[in-house]
Structure 1
Amino acid sequence: MFKNQSGQVRAGWLILLTFIAMLIVQQLFSLPGILLLMFTEAPFSEGFSYLDMQTAFDSHPWISLLMQGGGTVGGIVITFLLWRFINKGSMKELGFRGSLKDLWFGLFLGALSIIFIFIVLMATGNVTLLNSLSNPHFSIFTITFLVLFILVGIFEEMFFRGYVMSTMASRGNKKWVIYVASALIFSIAHGANPNVSLLGLMNIALVGLLFAYMFDATKSLWLPIGYHITWNYFQGNIFGFAVSGTAPNGIYSVELAEGHDWLTGGAFGLEGGILATMLILVGFIATKLYSKSKNQKNTGSL
């Protein structure tokens, strides 16, 4: 039950152990930010139980970063420790290898995807820009969320792709099983997000497959990390859409047309719309062309 025919602990048990440990450690690393928020806000409220957390975060962006970023750092730390001492693997084996060109291409592709969706929604009247493109509203959130989304991109790819896929591969699982398992775990982990929708969870599973393909095609985490960072950041902190249900703080503010959530994603963000589905599919093609070009250059240089 716990071990396979080779005497190895089954991948599912290792992944479950790491996932549970990750949740616990994330809470511990978030605790300083939570306590600081309590001490800062509680004296001015009727009671901490009535505290509007989102309003508190908006009032204290650095405390928000300490809490959310701290939890993300905790996830990175525990994933690395369990990979190093339980799986007995190196950082290279986890996926931190290859050229940083992969990172730059991922950053470009993620940003371009969100920009394209934004342009289509604007052109079709499904989104109204509340401040002009020539009048961006920069704030402290422009910095804090950049740091946060960099950490989130590293952590989530490190765990959902690097740890999950590499652990399953080391146990001889078939490639399609590894892809599907990674994507489903990724989607399920977002299931408790605010304003979640069925299409949103389907798109998160689909982008999980894309990230798995990026990791597999390049043998590196850099491409999915880059895409993940700019997909989130451009969605929430450039154009002002919700990010997987969480409130945006963009340099631009947008108003969504009512009744078209299937297209705009509604309160869940662009991931809840059909345009995201299309751009994620385009991502598979772009990744294939990129990895093919990269392989041809490497072959030509030998």
Structure 2
Amino acid sequence: MSKSNTPRDADDSSKPATVPPRETDHQRQFKQTLLVPFWNRTERRPRALWRILSAFVLIAIGSQVLPSVLFGSIDLPPSVLGITQNAFTLIIVFLVVVVWARYVDHRHPTEYGLEIGPEWIRDAGIGVIIAFIAWGLALAVHLSTGWAHISAVLSPGIAENALPFSLALIAFVGQFLLVGIWEELLFRGLVLKNAAEGFHSRWLSERGAVLAGLVASSLLFGVVHVDQATSLPALGFWALMGVVLGSTYIITDSLALPIGLHFATNLAFNNVYGLSNVRPETAEIAATLLRPEFTGPTRFVDASGLVNVGIVILIAVLSIGYVTVQRGSIRLRVSPVYSIDFESK
């Protein structure tokens, strides 16, 4: 006896398919309007403000919060603690910059000014020479006017666990080299370049955008150093230093000269000529080759006094002169025009 065919359930395909409602043009336009302050459709990346702020937040967490947790309870000599913290910060900045370059900025990391070669190393070395000569002149002015006298030579400092002078000086050389690299990579490479692109894409000409980026990065540089500024003029001194370092960046499109100037300025100012000894909170703490005592008017001998302001201007003149001789002309070499060819590189 054969089985009769039982009726099968109706095929699901015969049922009308559930089609999600299509996004209307009005809804699409509304969504795009909401994203305008945050997303650049043409460049296919976040706008400059958010690229800069988000990188800063990550670096601040990585360089300020984590070291306090890792090294806060360890009793180290100031010079050793400084090089340890700044080595950690450099690693954080480098990792953030590499990730940012690839996935947010859409550019190669070398485009921040790190195309290292013989010319790059030479420019960095010239920056070191310029800074040491200039800050040596600052000390000479103080001594010749009677505003300071040398009270000690090869001074290791008076910290409870201070290292011998030679070891402390080596540690400070390492610390300030690290500081010069990570601060220039952050403030000039990432911030200035992105700020210039942001200003150009919305309001300004190419030249105006680069100059606006220079001002913005210099002000941010000053604000970040507010803990080292004892007054508004002192804060202006840091911003002026940011302008000088940023100017050498935009006329070379390289971090070599800024890094050399930054590193040597910190080392010469603090640990070679002892110019920071004028501050009560730092007097006789750091190891220094020459330890002057200052007796002149504060408006001249202070860390942000008129003598040091003049030296910063001299550093700018010498640096611009070097670039003019080396490259034949002075022009803005950092371009605010963003290229979206990173994927094809």
TM-score normalised by structure 2 residue count: 0.71
Q: In structure 2, what is the Cα distance between the partners aligned to 1:213 and 1:114? A: 19
Give 1:119-268 correspondences, 5 Å limit: 119-131=140-152, 138-171=165-198, 173=200, 174-193=209-228, 196-242=230-276, 247=282, 248-257=286-295, 260-265=297-302
2:310 pairs with one of 256, 271, 278: 278
2:80 pairs with one of 62, 69, 72: 62
The structure-2 alpha-carbon separation of the partners of 1:68 and 1:155, relative to structure 1 and needing over 3 Å to count, comes to closer
Q: In structure 2, what is the Cα distance between the partners aligned to 1:202 and 1:63? A: 28
CA root-mean-square deviation = 2.5
More helix by share: 1
Unpaired stretches in structure 2, ≥5 consecutive residues: 1-36, 157-164, 201-208, 330-345
Q: Deviations over 1:63-85 (max 9, x none)?
A: 44323442344334323332333
Whether the 8 Å contact between 1:31 and 1:67 is mirrored in structure 2 is: no
Q: Deviations over 1:102-144 (max 9, x none)?
A: 1011101111111010100111111121025xx6663422011
Output the amino acid matched with 1:168: A
Q: In structure 2, what is the Cα distance between the partners aligned to 1:87 and 1:5? A: 13
Q: In structure 2, what is the Cα distance between the partners aligned to 1:201 and 1:244? A: 17
Whether the 8 Å contact between 2:199 and 2:213 is mirrored in structure 1 is: no
The aligned counterpart of 2:60 is 23
Q: Secondary structure at the match of 1:177?
A: helix
The structure-2 alpha-carbon separation of the partners of 1:261 and 1:109, relative to structure 1 and needing over 3 Å to count, comes to same
The structure-2 alpha-carbon separation of the partners of 1:273 and 1:79, relative to structure 1 and needing over 3 Å to count, comes to farther
Q: In structure 2, what is the Cα distance between the partners aligned to 1:224 and 1:285? A: 14
1:108 pairs with one of 108, 121, 129: 129
1:78 pairs with one of 75, 96, 99: 96
The structure-2 alpha-carbon separation of the partners of 1:244 and 1:97, relative to structure 1 and needing over 3 Å to count, comes to farther
Output the amino acid matched with 1:11: A
The structure-2 alpha-carbon separation of the partners of 1:263 and 1:17, relative to structure 1 and needing over 3 Å to count, comes to same
The structure-2 alpha-carbon separation of the partners of 1:8 and 1:213, relative to structure 1 and needing over 3 Å to count, comes to same
Unpaired stretches in structure 1, ≥5 consecutive residues: 38-55, 298-302
Bigger RCO of structures 1 and 2 (CA < 8 A, at least 6 apart)? 2
Moved more, 84-93 or 182-191: 84-93
Residue 89 (1) aligns with residue 94 (2): no
Moved more, 115-124 or 92-101: 92-101
Whether the 8 Å contact between 2:155 and 2:287 is mirrored in structure 1 is: no
Residue 3 (1) aligns with residue 69 (2): no
Q: Secondary structure at the match of 1:286?
A: helix
Q: Deviations over 1:133-164 (max 9, x none)?
A: xx666342201111000000001100000001
Whether the 8 Å contact between 2:82 and 2:175 is mirrored in structure 1 is: no
Give 1:289-300 correspondences, 5 Å limit: 289-296=321-328
Q: In structure 1, what is the Cα distance between the partners aligned to 2:192 and 2:81? A: 34
Q: Secondary structure at the match of 2:73?
A: helix
Count the aligned residue pairs.
268
Output the amino acid matched with 2:178: L
Q: In structure 2, what is the Cα distance between the partners aligned to 1:146 and 1:113? A: 18
Q: Secondary structure at the match of 2:234?
A: helix
Moved more, 122-131 or 219-228: 122-131
Output the amino acid matched with 1:3: W
Q: Secondary structure at the match of 1:96?
A: coil
The structure-2 alpha-carbon separation of the partners of 1:24 and 1:244, relative to structure 1 and needing over 3 Å to count, comes to farther
Q: In structure 1, what is the Cα distance between the partners aligned to 2:57 and 2:278? A: 22
Moved more, 135-144 or 102-111: 135-144
Q: Deviations over 1:172-230 (max 9, x none)?
A: 5312211110100000001123x522222111111111111100111100001000011
Is the radius of gyration larger for structure 1 or structure 2?
2
Whether the 8 Å contact between 1:183 and 1:212 is mirrored in structure 2 is: yes
